[in-house]
Amino acid sequence: MKRKHYFNPRMLLYDFALMGTNAFVPIAVILLTYIFLYFLCFKSQFDSSIYLSMSESVITFIGSWWVFHLMRPIVEDDGGELYLTFPVKRSYLGAFRVVRMWLIYALLLVFYCLGINIISGISVVDLWVQLSIQSMFFICSGFLCVVVTKSASYCWIISAAYAAFYLLTENDHFKFFSIYTLSSRIIGAADFMAAYGFKIILFSIISLVAGQLVFCKR
């Protein structure tokens, strides 16, 4: 069995090409968020907690956009079942590509965190650990959501509803299921991992495995 497509860089390019303009949305949102924060930092009496709240609410959530549009050709588009007739493992079409998307998104977050560090002095490592793990949750749960609902639009609504619920209620209800720290200052990477990180990683792995099982049953 040939498995050369797994690490063929052209396959990654095709994944993005298949998304069309949707491939640029997370990059554009990250860029716009940074520009907004950059200009905001010149404002007098500027509250630095906005860096964290903006990053937590926007940057983590938008990571799932890629996964919705990565899976859409298979689960939603007419004739998407065709992909399942190719000699390609479903673990490649599903979990492998999702994890690869998260790695690319985490790489993108390195640049964002470096930018935030320049304007606010927030530790790059601390911020990156927090944002990349939180975005992992959205990416993995987005995968589960898209294979269950077979609709990128529904997934977008579900993810937005989850984020809105915890951000608007400030973690008052069902706190255990929240991935948000809603802290006004950065928590160190080690403290974040102890308080939130392992729980979020567990949620992400459960979502990824469950999503893959549902996808394999198609």
| Binding footprint of other proteins on the chain (CB under 8 A) | 1-2, 4-5, 8, 10-11, 14, 17-21, 73, 77-89
Residue closer to other proteins (CB basis): 38 or 92: 92
Q: How far is the CB of 12 from other proteins (least distance, A)?
A: 11
Min dist. Cβ of residue 1 to other proteins (A): 6
- Least distance to other proteins from the beta carbon of 148, Å? 18
Rounded CA gap, 5 and 54, in Å?
37
Nearer to other proteins (CB atom), residue 10 or residue 43 = 10
Strand, helix or coil for residue 110: helix
Residue closest to 159 by CA, chosen among 177, 169, 145: 145
Rounded least distance, CB 154 to other proteins, Å: 19
Nearer to other proteins, 93 or 186 (CB): 93
In whole angstroms, give the CA distance from residue 3 to residue 149: 29
Of residues 9 and 161, the one with the C-beta less far from other proteins: 9
CA 93, 97, 101 angle in degrees (round to 5)?
Answer: 155
**What is the CA angle 22-130-133, rounded to 5?**
60
CA 71 to CA 155: how far, in whole Å?
Answer: 11
CB of 80 to other proteins, least distance (A): 6
Q: Which residue lies nearer to other proteins by CB, 9 or 176?
A: 9
Shortest Å distance, C-beta 78 to other proteins: 3
- Cα angle at 7 between 23 and 129, to 5 degrees? 60
- CA–CA separation, 160 and 21 (whole Å): 21
Can you say whether the dihedral through the CA atoms of 99, 178, 192, 156 is positive or negative? positive
85: amino acid identity, one letter: T
Give the residue with the Cβ less far from other proteins, 2 or 43.
2
